[in-house]
């Protein structure tokens, strides 16, 4: 394990200290939503039909079954974008009149136990007049396709268009145009803990506490209070320990709104724990995209222009708060990736279908666009008969700040350097020799590269470009040194596995001269943490970390002031370290605990020059910073069965200053595991009628430890000028680069066969089908 403190003058930042949150989690002391006792248990009855008109929902006698008819006063989930020709569509929390996907909740059964609720659910009699469903985005775009929402003619909910002014002129000068039709199938983020909610009514205050497994407790409170016409003060939302989110737990679940409604109606506690089947059919999907990409290259194989036609299947409704714009608009904005390409044309559409609603999943569109763009680069390399590494060298961005065709400003990064670092570390010549030898024995090895940029830690101006009615971005933290000298920091971010309790403590420890173990990070409770946007989009360490540093700087200033007062020394001579303030060059010192005590209990001594107490607030809203990496996969393709084994994975990455190398590496490892799953295994499959064929973890296949190779990591640290901690985000990079690297490696392995795999996941069936088509043609 590496330590990255060299030359920074910092003691804790840069050290791979163990995670402060882990002892509780690994000794079974974690507290999750489903652990809470409740008087009532809820089972949702879901549509087994993809499209149709609801004729009847009949409950068994004496059962408590809630339907849309009971919820007339509840507003619909109606996210809004003010740009891109967005058509707002509303989602009733329980299906009303029309059903639009298999899994849509139609009724809520309330009973004393989960088993009893499920017994009743089996007896709820639902009649639906089925209509023809549309499952695939291309079918939904075809003329004459059934209309899923009247508000969105042609099933297009939003349309992003962009064209650089000189696009046509430059396009005509191209030496070669390379085309690619890429397909990314639908996936589910599969957090280990599926969704769960628990709503409890407190008769004394009239308040409801909703405990749920969310990445965004404050936003959930705002949204649910709006929908139920409550004062926010009457609703408390708690995100306790959350067993992974990966974006799936950003979006508002209709189910949580029903729980809060029920708790108020019953004046009691109600709970719902989603099972895996529900999560796979109804717990939000993602990455279902078609991208047609064309690249214009000059005679030296330098990329001149890109043209993209992006169709993302957004499912039946638009997710809240991000809206379904997240996938198409991110794909449009970030398609050019790490390459210097000034000419760009793009059409990005969000397409409504009779499928489960799309929501962000770690990396959002970037795993798909990176796979598409990096396939294009490899295809171009082979058309120009040059090495895939070489073609990248010719187009990677090298001067900073760089302004993209669409106006994104890239801060300093190391696209070329990480590529060279990875190339050197993997030893390409040795691999090529091994590959050649293996081929003579009928074994097919391949190597694949992916270079990419990862936009992270962006604040409200960046989100505002999308025209979101709910525009997230900033973060606030409140830092307190209590009278015992113990440090507590209340944050609006809502970590759920990322290790933020540790990394924020490291930042504070360095700033005020204490040890991380006396710092407690409080999060995930709207009663005790300041308003904030939660944890997503590789933002928390950059933005919440920045806000933490700002608050800590204020506390530091205050401590110095107090020390200067108490030690009768000039502020400039005070040094904070080892839990004390010292006067430089003397043996005079005073502990931080003592100063904190005085700040509360001896304020009269400061003659009004120092405010009482020791609480400071920091808020941060940065412009955003780009991390980058080069991923390399070595695979073996079994051409008889189509099976792919990932033999080795190597990453050279730059995420700015690394606060905790162990945590950073863990984020990358986990992301790569998901990326390998996306590349080879994971696919939600619908049949023609809109039923899901992959509703359990035997059919929907996340990788197991066995499918994940050893991962070798290399770091470059380019301190970011756009982040006051100098750290960039790195939560998503692993899963962004991995699919591209793996698919490029598969194609490299299959070069002798002349087949192209431009589809994820590259299942053995698809690989064999491509090979068989060649065999049969020969």
Element (H, E) at 64: strand 64-67
Closest approach of another protein to the CB of residue 696, in Å: 8
Closest approach of another protein to the CB of residue 640, in Å: 4
Which is closer to another protein, CB of 306 or CB of 767?
A: 767
Which is closer to another protein, CB of 113 or CB of 205?
A: 113
Q: Say whether the peptide bond before residue 761 is cis (omega within 30 degrees of 0).
A: yes
Which is closer to another protein, CB of 458 or CB of 686?
A: 686
Which is closer to another protein, CB of 40 or CB of 726?
A: 40
Which is closer to another protein, CB of 103 or CB of 546?
A: 103
Q: Under a CB-based contact definition with an 8 Å cutoff, are residues 699 and 693 in contact?
A: yes
Instruction: Report residue 180 as tokens.
Output: 């690619």
Which is closer to another protein, CB of 47 or CB of 538?
A: 47
Length of the chain equals: 778
Strands (E) in 139-206, as ranges, are: 156-163, 176-184, 196-202
Which is closer to another protein, CB of 41 or CB of 218?
A: 41
Closest approach of another protein to the CB of residue 39, in Å: 17
Which is closer to another protein, CB of 437 or CB of 769?
A: 769
Closest approach of another protein to the CB of residue 272, in Å: 13
Instruction: Report residue 143 as tokens.
Output: 């003329």
Residues that bind another protein (CB under 8 A): 113-115, 118-119, 122, 275-277, 638, 640-643, 681, 685, 687, 693, 696, 698, 701, 703-704, 706-707, 763-765, 768-769, 772
Could you give the CA distance from residue 402 to residue 391 in angstroms, rounded to a whole number? 20
Name the residue with tokens 């803990």.
193
Which is closer to another protein, CB of 442 or CB of 585?
A: 442
3-state helix, strand, coil in the chain (%, to 5): 35, 25, 40
Could you give the CA distance from residue 675 to residue 259 in angstroms, rounded to a whole number? 34
Burial of 437 (0-12, 13-18, 19+ CB in 10 A): exposed
Half-sphere CA count of 688, side-chain side, radius 13 A: 1
Closest approach of another protein to the CB of residue 436, in Å: 23
Closest approach of another protein to the CB of residue 271, in Å: 14
Which is closer to another protein, CB of 57 or CB of 639?
A: 639
Q: Which has the closest alpha carbon to 627: 721, 720, 493?
A: 720
Closest approach of another protein to the CB of residue 441, in Å: 13
Which is closer to another protein, CB of 661 or CB of 702?
A: 702
Closest approach of another protein to the CB of residue 191, in Å: 17
Closest approach of another protein to the CB of residue 244, in Å: 19
Could you give the CA distance from residue 267 to residue 208 in angstroms, rounded to a whole number? 9
Phi and psi of 567, rounded to 5°?
-95, 0
Closest approach of another protein to the CB of residue 751, in Å: 21
Closest approach of another protein to the CB of residue 56, in Å: 22
How distant, in Å, are the alpha carbons of 84, 309, 446, 476 from that of 159?
5, 11, 38, 34
DSSP string over 394-437: HHB--SSSEE-TT-PEE-S--HHHHHHHHHHHHTHHHHHHHHHH
Q: Under a CB-based contact definition with an 8 Å cutoff, are residues 316 and 397 in contact?
A: no
Partner residues linked to 105 by β-bridges: 46
Which is closer to another protein, CB of 294 or CB of 707?
A: 707
Tell me the pairing of strands 207-212 and 105-111.
unpaired
Which is closer to another protein, CB of 28 or CB of 97?
A: 28
Closest approach of another protein to the CB of residue 280, in Å: 12
Element (H, E) at 156: strand 156-163
Which is closer to another protein, CB of 129 or CB of 275?
A: 275
Q: CA torsion angle for 360, 361, 362, 365 (degrees, to 10)?
A: -70
Closest approach of another protein to the CB of residue 138, in Å: 19
Q: Under a CB-based contact definition with an 8 Å cutoff, are residues 269 and 39 in contact?
A: yes
Which is closer to another protein, CB of 355 or CB of 660?
A: 355
Q: What is the distance between the terminal CA atoms of the chain, rounded to a whole angstrom?
A: 52
Could you give the CA distance from residue 576 to residue 581 in angstroms, rounded to a whole number? 5
Phi and psi of 8, rounded to 5°?
-90, -15
Burial 647-675 (b: 16+ CB within 10 A, else e): ebbbbbbbbbbbbbbbbbbbbbebbbbbb
How distant, in Å, are the alpha carbons of 179, 218, 222, 472 from that of 461?
34, 20, 21, 9
Half-sphere CA count of 164, side-chain side, radius 13 A: 24
Element (H, E) at 519: strand 519-522
Closest approach of another protein to the CB of residue 687, in Å: 7
Burial 714-750 (b: 16+ CB within 10 A, else e): bbbbbebebbbbbbbbbbbbbbbbbbbbbbbbbbbbb
Closest approach of another protein to the CB of residue 114, in Å: 5
């Amino acid at each position: 394990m590496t330590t990255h403190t060299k030359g920074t003058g910092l003691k804790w930042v840069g050290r791979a200290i163990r995670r402060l949150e882990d002892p509780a989690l690994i000794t079974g002391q974690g507290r999750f939503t489903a652990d809470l006792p409740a008087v009532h248990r809820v089972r949702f009855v879901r549509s087994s039909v993809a499209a149709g008109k609801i004729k009847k929902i009949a409950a068994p006698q004496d059962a408590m079954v809630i339907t849309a008819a009971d919820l007339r006063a509840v507003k619909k989930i109606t996210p809004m974008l003010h740009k891109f020709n967005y058509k707002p569509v509303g989602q009733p929390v329980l299906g009303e009149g029309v059903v639009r996907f298999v899994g849509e909740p139609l009724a809520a059964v309330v009973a004393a136990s989960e088993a009893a609720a499920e017994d009743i659910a089996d007896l709820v009699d639902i009649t639906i007049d089925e209509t023809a469903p549309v499952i695939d985005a291309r079918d939904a775009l075809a003329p004459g396709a059934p209309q899923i929402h009247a508000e969105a003619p042609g099933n297009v909910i939003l349309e992003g268009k962009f064209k650089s002014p000189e696009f046509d002129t430059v396009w005509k000068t191209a030496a070669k145009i390379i085309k690619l039709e890429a397909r990314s199938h639908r996936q589910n983020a599969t957090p280990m803990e599926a969704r769960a909610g628990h709503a409890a009514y407190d008769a004394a205050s009239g308040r409801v506490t909703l405990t749920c497994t969310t990445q965004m407790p404050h936003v959930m409170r705002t949204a649910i209070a709006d929908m139920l016409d409550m004062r926010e003060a009457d609703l408390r939302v708690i995100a306790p320990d959350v067993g992974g989110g990966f974006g799936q737990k950003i979006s508002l679940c209709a189910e949580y709104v029903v729980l809060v409604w029920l708790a108020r109606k019953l004046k009691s506690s109600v709970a719902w724990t989603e099972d895996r089947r529900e999560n796979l059919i109804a717990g939000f999907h993602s990455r279902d995209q078609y991208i047609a990409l064309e690249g214009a290259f000059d005679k030296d194989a330098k990329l001149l222009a890109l043209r993209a036609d992006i169709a993302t299947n957004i499912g039946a409704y638009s997710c809240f708060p991000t809206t379904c714009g997240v996938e198409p608009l991110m794909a449009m904005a970030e398609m050019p990736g790490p390459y210097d390409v000034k000419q760009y044309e793009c059409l990005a559409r969000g397409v409504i279908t009779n499928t489960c609603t799309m929501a962000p999943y770690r990396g959002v569109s970037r795993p798909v666009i990176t796979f598409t763009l990096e396939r294009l680069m490899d295809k171009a390399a082979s058309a120009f008969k040059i090495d895939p590494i070489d073609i990248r060298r010719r187009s990677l961005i090298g001067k900073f700040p760089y302004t993209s065709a669409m106006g994104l400003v890239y801060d300093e990064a190391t696209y070329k350097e990480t590529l060279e670092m990875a190339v050197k570390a993997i030893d390409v010549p040795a691999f090529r020799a091994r590959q050649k030898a293996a081929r003579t024995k009928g074994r097919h090895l391949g190597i694949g590269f992916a270079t990419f940029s990862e936009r992270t830690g962006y604040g409200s101006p960046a989100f505002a470009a999308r025209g979101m009615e709910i525009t997230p971005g900033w973060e606030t933290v409140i830092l307190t040194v209590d009278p015992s000298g113990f440090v507590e920091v209340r944050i609006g971010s809502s970590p759920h596995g990322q290790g933020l309790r540790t990394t924020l403590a490291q930042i504070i420890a360095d700033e005020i001269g204490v040890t991380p173990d006396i710092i407690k990070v409080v999060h995930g409770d709207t009663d005790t943490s300041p308003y904030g946007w939660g944890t997503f989009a590789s933002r928390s360490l950059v933005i919440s970390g920045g806000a933490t540093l700002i608050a800590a700087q204020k506390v530091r200033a205050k401590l110095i002031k107090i020390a200067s007062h108490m030690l009768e020394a000039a502020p400039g001579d005070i040094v904070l370290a080892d839990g004390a303030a010292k006067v430089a060059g003397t043996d005079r010192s005073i502990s931080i605990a003592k100063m904190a005590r005085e700040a509360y209990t001896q304020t009269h001594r400061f003659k009004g020059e120092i405010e009482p107490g020791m609480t400071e607030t920091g808020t941060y809203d940065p412009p955003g910073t780009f991390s980058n990496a080069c991923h390399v996969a070595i695979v073996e393709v079994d051409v008889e069965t189509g099976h792919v084994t990932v033999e080795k994975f190597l990453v050279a990455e730059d995420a700015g200053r690394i606060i905790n190398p162990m945590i950073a590496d863990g984020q990358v490892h986990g992301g790569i595991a998901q990326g390998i799953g996306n590349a080879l295994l994971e696919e939600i499959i619908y049949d023609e009628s809109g039923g899901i064929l992959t509703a359990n973890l035997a059919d929907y296949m996340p990788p197991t430890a066995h499918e994940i190779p050893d991962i070798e990591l290399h770091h470059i640290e380019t301190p970011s000028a756009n982040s006051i901690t100098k750290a960039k985000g790195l939560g998503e990079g692993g899963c962004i680069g991995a699919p591209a690297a793996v698919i490029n490696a598969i194609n490299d392995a299959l070069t002798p066969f002349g087949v192209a795999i431009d589809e994820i996941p590259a299942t053995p069936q698809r690989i064999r089908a491509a090979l068989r088509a060649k065999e049969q043609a020969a």
